[in-house]
């Protein structure tokens, strides 16, 4: 057993070690530069924490022991003479800070030079500049009435230009300013700092049976502490002030049980499939998850920075620090019971546990969970991180993992099958409440999640915004009653819910149609092995339009299906915003289409559309969209009527943007005429664009025709075409479009327009 006693910084310089009078401290050349004065956010926090502990030791009489300093005592040359010096291999940073603090207090309290003469025997071998700076510093007397020490030093004639690039010197200057800020209004600290207010232990490594080389290898000198190691130290210190026994218990769990829990996930952040040797990142990511729950419950936003979590939730300044720490402990401990072990007793990932409840795509008695079922792994990999200002561990995944935490906390009173049912309802609500999934609204969503999982309550909330979609909530209540009355058909409902175009919302089919139409829906919208659609969406949308007007009003836009974007169909089928009131129209047409066949292919769909075209006598706007593919070339399925739809039924604008009329938008008829006349390759035709500014000026789209005589343009109104001379903007010709008394075309206006263009070009 190695015997040692605590030292203060000054007595090292007069310490008698085995008959050897130690007279100095020299930082050896193998050490890295002094780092506690670096200006990074992480180091700034460490510096402030360390200075606070030193301040408490000196001002508040809370004595501090700074653990062990390891090194050797060597007989070397220092200040032009040989002497016994302590050369630390571990403890350089603490010793350098103590050197600067002793210097500051001695000068601030105007101590006689003989009192601090020993400071001249503190030196650096790492750089000659660092050594020379230490010597010059001891002789310098700052003006303590000024705000900084560093500016005074750098203004001195003896301050060398080369020191501006010496990292140790620069760190010392930063530390001196921090000490000045912390200690400038103190006094009578010299007797304390030279007594036992701040002490440390020194152990020579030769007494430990270690060589310098072996010790250096063991301690990986020069390798900085990880973010987690800094966080853990500050967390334990902060929690110790709140509850010392709780701090000790949690500290032990971090090192043992929780490390075992997270060890299987240690490759979460390597990105190359190779297992990492630590679980630091995984631990902090899960801490962010717990912190988010606490903050959301309190109606507060997420805490983005690791160390701010300590200050806000676990320090003495937080009135609920103990409760928060105990909650953190519980949310780590809940996984112990369900985490499996291998034959050697080592903990494994929780994948099998989650696979009992979640699936990728539809699976009987499980809930779809995107591309990854192990949401704990997702959390450990992404929680607390942002990409393009978005959470990498998205709020839907957050709520889903929180549901499992609630279940594990209440397993004694929630039957597993009942949990599956509640989890499905929650997932349906999450999938259909995109507008509500915002940080500022999470307080209500967290409360609702608790009520659904713990109590089985799904309710409609009529006030505020911080709740799941009420339309979907009512649907979930109806489905609960329906499955109670039709337990044999519950699986058919779940299968329909799990189709990616529905994602839990089946109102567009109707509970009354579930059993009859679930197979037909999957036949109309088939999926490949990866759960992707493998159907012709344009042909389906065309057939639906042939059956009826299934469109939905979306503010000033009119929403139809997209020929190539499944997301648009998903939104049309779901309870999205102000369009949900028109979902009944969509339902009527969709159900009618599904009733037409039990096996859909392109021929079946085209026959429905062609039959409509053949039987049409009143050529409505639907007739034209079904007939001409150009009119369906809106990726977002968005259209706009120039004027009201009833009286200006043919003044239809195709939007190539999702929301705004200020993009590239076209009159669907002139656009079709242009393309039918080979406009892309015809230099005599040019199509104008319909823009928002034109809309304000009540102008219309134009099709320009350039011939040998002059340039003219064609415009279209609800019941006629007009030809104008471009130069004088004079009306040359008006061509009536044959219509019946109800205002419907009786002759195809596209054909009429094409004939006009051919005549103008000839």
191/240 same-domain check = no
Would you say residue 335 lies in a domain? yes
Tell me which of 485, 507, 533 is where a domain ends: 485
Q: What is the pLDDT of residue 126?
A: 60
701 vs 688: CA distance, rounded Å: 6
Tell me which of 219, 238, 271 is where a domain ends: 219
Measuring CA to CA, which residue among 478, 424, 482 is closest to residue 453? 424
Contact 47, 175 (CB under 8 A): yes
Measuring CA to CA, which residue among 421, 491, 476, 483 is closest to residue 453? 421
Q: What is the pLDDT of residue 370?
A: 86
211/297 same-domain check = no
Contact 604, 523 (CB under 8 A): no
208 vs 372: CA distance, rounded Å: 50
328/419 same-domain check = no
> b vs e for 39-78, b when ≥16 Cβ sit within 10 Å of the residue's Cβ?
eeeebebbbebbbeebbebbbeeeebebeebbbbbeeeeb
Angle at 36 between CA 117 and CA 311, to 5 degrees: 125
**Residue 307 structural domain:** 227-347
174/270 same-domain check = no
Q: What is the pLDDT of residue 2?
A: 45
Give 358's strand partners.
367
What end-to-end distance do the CA atoms of the chain give, in Å? 110
Would you say residue 516 lies in a domain? no
205/69 same-domain check = yes
156/81 same-domain check = yes
- Predicted confidence (pLDDT) per residue in 468-524, tens digit: 999 999 999 999 999 999 999 999 999 999 999 999 999 999 999 999 999 999 999
215/232 same-domain check = no
Would you say residue 600 lies in a domain? no
152/189 same-domain check = yes
Give 629's strand partners.
none
Q: What is the pLDDT of residue 693?
A: 40
Would you say residue 566 lies in a domain? no
473 vs 452: CA distance, rounded Å: 11
Lookup: tokens for 471: 């339309």
Q: What is the pLDDT of residue 19?
A: 62
Tally the domains of the chain.
Answer: 4
674 vs 53: CA distance, rounded Å: 79
Would you say residue 709 lies in a domain? yes
Q: What is the pLDDT of residue 275?
A: 44
52/172 same-domain check = yes
Q: What is the pLDDT of residue 637?
A: 94
Contact 164, 170 (CB under 8 A): yes
Strands (DSSP E) along 608-719, which ranges? 638-641, 652-655, 665-667, 685-687, 703-706, 711-716
Tell me which of 219, 247, 277 is where a domain ends: 219
What does the DSSP assignment read for 738-754?
Answer: PB-TTS-BSS-HHHHHH
72/113 same-domain check = yes
674 vs 36: CA distance, rounded Å: 72
Would you say residue 524 lies in a domain? no
416 vs 410: CA distance, rounded Å: 11
Would you say residue 490 lies in a domain? no
669/749 same-domain check = yes
Per the confidence metrics, is the pTM higher than 0.85? no
- Predicted confidence (pLDDT) per residue in 40-65, tens digit: 877 888 888 889 989 999 999 988 88
207/255 same-domain check = no
Would you say residue 547 lies in a domain? no
All residue ranges of the chain with pLDDT < 50 are 1-3, 211-223, 270-276, 691-698
Q: What is the pLDDT of residue 221?
A: 42
**What SS3 state is found at 84?**
strand
Q: What is the pLDDT of residue 352?
A: 95
Measuring CA to CA, which residue among 132, 126, 140 is closest to residue 161? 132
């Amino acid at each position: 057993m190695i015997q040692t006693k605590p030292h203060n910084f000054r007595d090292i310089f007069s310490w008698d070690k085995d008959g050897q009078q130690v007279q100095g401290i020299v930082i050896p050349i193998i050490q890295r530069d002094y780092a506690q004065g670096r200006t990074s956010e992480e180091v700034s926090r460490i510096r402030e924490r360390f200075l606070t502990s030193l301040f408490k030791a000196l001002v508040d009489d809370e004595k501090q022991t700074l653990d062990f300093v390891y090194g050797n005592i060597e007989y070397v040359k220092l200040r032009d003479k040989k002497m016994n010096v302590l050369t630390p291999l571990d403890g350089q940073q603490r010793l350098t800070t103590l050197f600067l603090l002793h210097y500051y207090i001695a000068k601030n309290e105007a101590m006689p030079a003989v009192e601090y003469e020993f400071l001249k025997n503190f030196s650096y071998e790492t750089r000659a500049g660092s050594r020379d700076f230490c010597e010059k510093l001891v002789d310098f007397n700052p003006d303590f009435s000024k705000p900084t020490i560093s500016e005074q030093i750098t203004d001195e004639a003896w301050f060398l230009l080369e020191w501006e690039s010496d990292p140790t010197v620069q760190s010392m200057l930063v530390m001196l300013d921090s000490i000045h800020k912390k200690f400038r209004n103190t006094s009578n600290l010299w007797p304390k700092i030279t007594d036992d207010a701040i002490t440390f232990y020194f152990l020579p490594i030769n007494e430990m049976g270690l060589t310098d080389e072996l010790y250096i290898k063991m301690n990986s000198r020069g390798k900085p502490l990880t973010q987690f190691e800094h966080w853990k130290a500050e967390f334990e210190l902060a929690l110790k002030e709140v509850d010392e026994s709780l701090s000790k218990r949690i500290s032990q769990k971090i090192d043992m049980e929780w490390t075992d829990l997270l060890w299987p996930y240690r490759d979460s952040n390597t990105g190359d499939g190779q297992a990492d040797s630590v679980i630091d990142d995984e631990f902090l990511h899960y801490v962010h998850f717990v912190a988010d729950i606490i903050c959301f419950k309190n109606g507060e936003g997420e805490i983005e920075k690791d160390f701010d979590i300590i200050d806000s939730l676990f320090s003495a300044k937080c009135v609920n620090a103990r409760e928060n720490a105990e909650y953190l402990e519980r949310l780590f401990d809940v996984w112990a019971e369900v985490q499996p072990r291998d034959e050697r007793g080592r903990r494994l990932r929780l994948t099998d546990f989650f696979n009992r409840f979640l699936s990728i795509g539809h699976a009987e008695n499980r809930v779809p969970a995107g591309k990854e079922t192990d949401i704990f792994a997702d959390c450990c990999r992404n929680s607390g991180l942002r990409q393009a200002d978005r959470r990498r561990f998205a709020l839907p995944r957050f709520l889903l993992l929180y549901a499992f935490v609630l279940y594990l906390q209440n397993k004694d009173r929630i039957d597993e099958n009942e949990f599956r049912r509640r989890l499905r309802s929650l997932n349906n609500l999450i999938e259909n409440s995109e507008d509500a999934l915002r940080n500022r609204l999470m307080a209500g969503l967290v409360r609702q999640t608790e009520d659904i999982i713990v109590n089985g309550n799904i309710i409609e909330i009529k006030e505020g915004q911080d709740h799941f979609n009420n339309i979907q909530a009512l649907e979930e209540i109806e489905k609960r009653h329906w499955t109670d009355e039709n337990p044999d058909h519950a699986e058919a409902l779940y299968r329909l819910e799990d189709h990616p175009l529905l994602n839990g919302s089946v109102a567009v089919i109707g509970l009354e149609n579930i059993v009859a139409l679930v197979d037909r829906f999957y036949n109309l919208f088939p999926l490949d092995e990866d759960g992707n659609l493998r159907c012709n969406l344009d042909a389906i949308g065309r057939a639906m339009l042939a059956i009826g007007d299934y469109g939905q009003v979306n503010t000033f836009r009119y929403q139809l299906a997209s020929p190539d974007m499944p997301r648009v169909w998903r939104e049309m089928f779901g309870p999205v915003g102000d369009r949900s009131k028109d979902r009944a129209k969509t339902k009527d047409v969709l159900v009618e289409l599904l009733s037409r066949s039990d096996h859909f292919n392109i021929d079946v769909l085209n026959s429905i559309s062609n039959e409509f075209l053949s039987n049409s006598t009143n050529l409505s706007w639907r007739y034209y969209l079904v007939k001409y593919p150009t009119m369906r070339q809106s990726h977002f399925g968005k259209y706009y009527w120039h004027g009201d739809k009833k009286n200006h039924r043919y003044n239809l604008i195709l939007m190539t943007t999702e929301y705004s009329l200020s993009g590239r938008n076209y009159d669907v008829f002139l656009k079709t005429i242009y393309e039918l006349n080979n406009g892309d390759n015809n230099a005599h035709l040019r199509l104008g664009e319909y823009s928002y500014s034109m809309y304000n000026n009540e102008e219309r789209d134009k099709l320009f025709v350039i011939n040998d005589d002059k340039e003219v343009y064609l415009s279209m109104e609800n019941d006629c075409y007009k030809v104008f001379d471009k130069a004088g903007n004079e009306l040359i010709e008006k061509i009536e479009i044959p219509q019946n008394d109800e205002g419907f075309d009786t002759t195809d206006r596209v054909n009429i327009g094409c004939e006009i263009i051919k005549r103008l070009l000839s």
